[in-house]
Structure 1
Amino acid sequence: MTDGAAPDSAASNRPNLVLVHCHDLGQHLGCYGADVDTPNIDRIAADGARLANSFCSAPQCSPSRSSMMTGYYPHENGVMGLAHMGWALGDEWETLPKRLRKAGYETALLGFQHEVPDDPERLGYEYVDSGTKRALDLVDVVDDFFAERADADEPFFVSVGIEEPHRPFRREYLSDGTYDAYDPDEVPLDDFPYLPDAPGVREDVADLRSVISEVLDPAVGRYRESLADHGLAEETVFVFTTDHGLAMPRAKGTCYDPGIETALLVHQPGVVEGGAVHDALVTNVDFAPTMLDLLGVDPPTDVSGESFAPLLRGEPHDGRDRVFAEMTWHDRYNPIRVVRTERYKYVRNFSVLPRVFVPMDVAPTASGREVHEEFHVPQRPTEELYDLAADPAESENLASDKKPFEAAAEASDPEPDHADALNRLRDELESWMEATDDPLLDGPVPYPDVA
């Protein structure tokens, strides 16, 4: 909540913050081991730090972004669904740009945001240019912004919101008119063990990789070049991240790792060691406190997130031993709560859906239809437990002796060797829900009144 604090007089000595965030990327980058050509984004990891175990609070756009901006889980800040469908962040919430404005920063939004349906100034941005959200079209917008602030006295925070690689993957506006970086017949599917090897899946993977390598990656490279060309790079924290996992079946809209894993790269010259890889568990609920800490602004102590800036600076840091994630509403009611440790993932499904959930932008695609056919089952289990060390694809549900996705018509028994982990994580999830006043504890969460 806002507290009306006066601007910080020390702001002129603080670094700028450039936040570049895209849609639906997960960790599908070369620097994360994916088979895709992303030299420009990989260079951020080489120059700065890569968070290898970065996760989001929700596998969908608005809820996840609300956590990034506030430091609270979606069920705490009220954004339990999409902003254009009634789940907007209220004006009373303290956001990262609001906090930075009070610390003496100029705040700007270029491109996309999805925490409110309109008027992004409500989020704390003084300057807004939302004329385009396409990565390549934003190149000139970003360059003009940096050029105008090359000699500014006050530091700035600019949020650069990119549409790609949101579906549809095919981008007909590519400058040379081609879109054939990857051949569907030849593209490997090793990065997608949760998808069937089928023609529609292969076409989707080829198009996804093309839009990442031909559109997203070169645009991000141009943003960094522009920052350097205007003499701002050495005094700027540059962050690249995404909202949630890939827009693929059993990824986006699910709390399996492909749905909640996120790329997070941080470069701060002279502070963050180049080429550092951090394996600690982090969540984007921690994002706002961490950014404030890096900038020398006292992070809030009354939010659910916590700063991991000491980790980035190479200082001692007692990090998290678990992260939480959630899903409530997307295009349908789909309440899920999750706790993930380094080894285990515990999933609690609060409603019974007739099949694997696939969000509305994925379901009509060829891969969406093929996964529906592959996993069309009458019921999914109430509880799921996965041993991520032995089963990173989350295919063997240890909370039940039923086969994956098999109808649970009768009660089933957990794997005995993992019963203790199941009981412990079940209790921890319930404790977290109670501590954060999760409305699911009181029953189904209704759709917001948007009349």
Structure 2
Amino acid sequence: MNFTHRNNLLFGTLLMSMLAGACTTGQEKEDAPPNIVFIMSDDHAYQAISAYGHGLNETPQIDRLAEEGAIFTRATVTNSICAPSRAVVLTGKHSFLNGKVDNIQPFNWDQNNFAKMLQKAGYNTAMVGKIHLDGLPQGFDHSMVLPGQGHYYNPDFLVNGERQRFEGYVTELTTQFALDWLKEGRDQEKPFLLIYNQKAPHRNWKPAPKYLTLYDDKTFDPPANYFDDLTNYEGRGTAAKEQEMEIDGHAMWGHDFKFEVDPNGDSTGFTRELNRLSEEQRAQWREAYNPKNQAFLDAYPRAEEIAFEDKEKEKEIAIWKFNRYIKDYLRTIKSVDDGVGEVLDYLEENGLAENTIVVYTSDQGFYLGEHGWFDKRFMYEQSFRTPLLVRYPKEIKPGTKIDKLVQNLDFAPTLLDYAGVEIAPEMQGESFRTLVSGETDEWRDAVYYTYYEYPSVHMVKRHYGVATERYKLMHFYYDIDEWEMYDLEADPNEMNNIYEDPSYAEVKEEMHQKLQDLRDKYGDSDEMNQKYLDAYLEHMERNNRQ
């Protein structure tokens, strides 16, 4: 064999080997488990995402997920309060089984969660941002979380358990730290799970410096039932009447409306909050807010007295308060939307978008003036529903819309299903993978809800309930014993309790049966309620003794 012929053979063999290797590598990439970016904001109402069509604000980056993936219009939570909702997301179990029923009871990180399962299956895992669950997060190779509620300005982070303070705005920092891990912190050879949680738009809605004057040129109209209190919540029960979450009534001049001095000339304590800001940040803040606050004080120099004496002026002040609240709330969301865009851009620019599941959601919904309220907690619709958008190009068609009753209980099983990891038998949710891909239309016809944190801030009474696509049944208990039922088709704003309406007698019977069926299915009971009530009252009594 001559030298040239031998070299040609060697070259051919090498070329075939390289091509085979390339094909093998390509096949491995094709079959690689999906990466997961799970983005959760705090108290982000679905009404404040423009893809949902309410016209309040524009969220073009979050909307990309709806355009390129799926939007869920009836996603709900099992317990509308921060820490319990996050515990449900992690464990795939209702609050009464994972033990985190309220913001008071401890969370047991030793129990199973979906991040632990993905980590065990070979995923590189990280959690960045807010989790609001005490203790070092388990299931994560890297964690960089806010202690407790966290601060909007110059926040502390627990970096793998070690407390460090960072100068800057919390939403921008959280995004930066998430991107840092994606770029430099993760193992490039492994599939990854990134849980990227924002503090915003949680109370008290402090915007980033660059957005302090956003919407200054706009006046927002409050929801049609903003003045619900003027009829003393006619058509509802005791729980709606006795809550303490009214924008005009319970929100505070300092903490919520950002006045350093109230209309009576008294210090509000907000100056202490500003002390956390750097000198430059305080100067920016006061330059933006002081003129707006002074304009209000000039227009209503005796605001509290005027509201008492003049009903028209009272309404004007109430609408001003709504505008201060909603503008600050939406300003914080602008930074959240920016961050989503930065992460999506990174995935696309680095060839990761096709094989990465991106989820955007909130730990629950929020009231944006409906019934005159801010906050959450109730099973009424704006609190009960949560935004949910999912993009996964390999399986989800662009522009998909899902109207089924999906819950945050389902997130853990769904992500495990996508990753090819067997769903833990104790998880109570269901994977919606085949639902969102269009392979099936079969889904549950009812969801179960619980709320426990009473008596406490906002004074929303303990209750549990069941919801179908059309009806909702709730039982308020402990210091009252009242039932409420709503027909969401006829009464989408839940203004008229039909529980005693004889024309709904058959529906009421069916809803009671569904409620009992779900309590049996999930393992809840009045005895379970009493157990957690006793634990809560014991905690409150112990605190009072101290």
Settle same-fold status: TM greater than 0.5: yes
C-alpha deviation, 1:227, in angstroms? 2.2
Aligned to 1:361: none
Of 27, 32, 44, the residue aligned with 2:52 is 32
Aligned 8 A contact 2:82 2:363 in 1:
yes
Amino acid at match of 2:535: Y
More off after superposition, 200-209 vs 245-254: 245-254
Unaligned 5+ segments in structure 1 are: 1-8, 354-380, 400-413
In the alignment, structure 1 residue 256 sits paired with structure 2 residue 277:
no
Deviations 1:241-264 (A, max 9, x none): 100011552750111011111111
Amino acid at match of 2:116: K
Deviations 1:280-315 (A, max 9, x none): 111111110011112222323442111111012221
Q: State the alpha-carbon separation in 1 of the partners of residues 374 and 472 from structure 2.
A: 15
Q: State the alpha-carbon separation in 2 of the partners of residues 127 and 191 from structure 1.
A: 46
Aligned to 1:347: 474
Aligned to 2:534: 446
Aligned to 2:497: 397
Q: State the alpha-carbon separation in 1 of the partners of residues 110 and 437 from structure 2.
A: 32
Unaligned 5+ segments in structure 2 are: 1-27, 146-156, 158-165, 230-314
Would the alpha carbon gap of residues 441 and 420 (structure 1) be closer, same or farther in structure 2, given more than 3 Å must change?
farther
In the alignment, structure 1 residue 386 sits paired with structure 2 residue 513:
no
Q: State the alpha-carbon separation in 2 of the partners of residues 129 and 438 from structure 1.
A: 34
Q: Which has the higher helix share?
A: 2
Aligned 8 A contact 1:166 1:247 in 2:
no
Aligned to 2:129: 111
Would the alpha carbon gap of residues 29 and 231 (structure 1) be closer, same or farther in structure 2, given more than 3 Å must change?
same
In the alignment, structure 1 residue 99 sits paired with structure 2 residue 187:
no
Amino acid at match of 1:397: N
Amino acid at match of 1:419: A
Q: How many residues align?
A: 392
Aligned 8 A contact 1:34 1:191 in 2:
no
Q: State the alpha-carbon separation in 1 of the partners of residues 509 and 130 from structure 2.
A: 42
Would the alpha carbon gap of residues 443 and 164 (structure 1) be closer, same or farther in structure 2, given more than 3 Å must change?
closer
C-alpha deviation, 1:183, in angstroms? 5.0
Q: How does 1:57-76 map to 2 (within 5 A)?
A: 57-76=78-97
Deviations 1:46-100 (A, max 9, x none): 0110111100111101111111111111112111101xx3x23213421010111
Q: State the alpha-carbon separation in 1 of the partners of residues 421 and 30 from structure 2.
A: 9
Of 367, 370, 395, the residue aligned with 1:271 is 395
Aligned to 2:237: none
More off after superposition, 385-394 vs 245-254: 245-254
C-alpha deviation, 1:430, in angstroms? 2.7
In the alignment, structure 1 residue 241 sits paired with structure 2 residue 327:
no
Q: State the alpha-carbon separation in 2 of the partners of residues 69 and 191 from structure 1.
A: 37
Would the alpha carbon gap of residues 78 and 177 (structure 1) be closer, same or farther in structure 2, given more than 3 Å must change?
closer
Amino acid at match of 1:433: R
C-alpha deviation, 1:182, in angstroms? 5.2
TM-score w.r.t. the length of structure 1 is: 0.80
C-alpha deviation, 1:31, in angstroms? 0.5
C-alpha deviation, 1:420, in angstroms? 1.2
Aligned to 2:260: none
Aligned 8 A contact 2:448 2:464 in 1:
yes
- Helix, strand or coil at the partner of 2:518: helix
C-alpha deviation, 1:219, in angstroms? 1.5
Aligned 8 A contact 2:75 2:386 in 1:
yes
Amino acid at match of 2:135: D
- Helix, strand or coil at the partner of 2:406: strand
Amino acid at match of 1:18: V
Amino acid at match of 2:483: E
In the alignment, structure 1 residue 13 sits paired with structure 2 residue 32:
yes
Q: State the alpha-carbon separation in 2 of the partners of residues 14 and 39 from structure 1.
A: 29
In the alignment, structure 1 residue 338 sits paired with structure 2 residue 374:
no
More off after superposition, 53-62 vs 11-20: 11-20
RMSD: 2.6
Of 57, 63, 66, the residue aligned with 1:42 is 63
Aligned 8 A contact 1:56 1:262 in 2:
yes
Deviations 1:323-367 (A, max 9, x none): 1111012662832101010110101101346xxxxxxxxxxxxxx
Aligned 8 A contact 1:236 1:268 in 2:
yes
Aligned 8 A contact 2:96 2:528 in 1:
no
Larger CA Rg, structure 1 vs 2: 2
More off after superposition, 23-32 vs 227-236: 227-236
C-alpha deviation, 1:149, in angstroms? 6.0
- Helix, strand or coil at the partner of 1:135: helix
Q: State the alpha-carbon separation in 2 of the partners of residues 37 and 272 from structure 1.
A: 24
C-alpha deviation, 1:223, in angstroms? 1.6
Would the alpha carbon gap of residues 149 and 296 (structure 1) be closer, same or farther in structure 2, given more than 3 Å must change?
farther
Aligned to 2:264: none
Would the alpha carbon gap of residues 169 and 330 (structure 1) be closer, same or farther in structure 2, given more than 3 Å must change?
farther
Q: State the alpha-carbon separation in 2 of the partners of residues 141 and 232 from structure 1.
A: 18
Would the alpha carbon gap of residues 183 and 207 (structure 1) be closer, same or farther in structure 2, given more than 3 Å must change?
farther
Q: State the alpha-carbon separation in 2 of the partners of residues 177 and 258 from structure 1.
A: 26
Aligned 8 A contact 1:26 1:263 in 2:
yes
Q: State the alpha-carbon separation in 2 of the partners of residues 55 and 74 from structure 1.
A: 14
Aligned to 1:179: 213
Aligned 8 A contact 1:271 1:313 in 2:
yes
In the alignment, structure 1 residue 327 sits paired with structure 2 residue 451:
yes
Of 421, 426, 429, the residue aligned with 2:515 is 429
Aligned to 1:204: 325
Would the alpha carbon gap of residues 317 and 417 (structure 1) be closer, same or farther in structure 2, given more than 3 Å must change?
same
Of 167, 172, 181, the residue aligned with 1:145 is 181
C-alpha deviation, 1:229, in angstroms? 2.7
Of 342, 347, 361, the residue aligned with 1:222 is 342
Q: State the alpha-carbon separation in 2 of the partners of residues 207 and 291 from structure 1.
A: 33
Would the alpha carbon gap of residues 194 and 269 (structure 1) be closer, same or farther in structure 2, given more than 3 Å must change?
farther
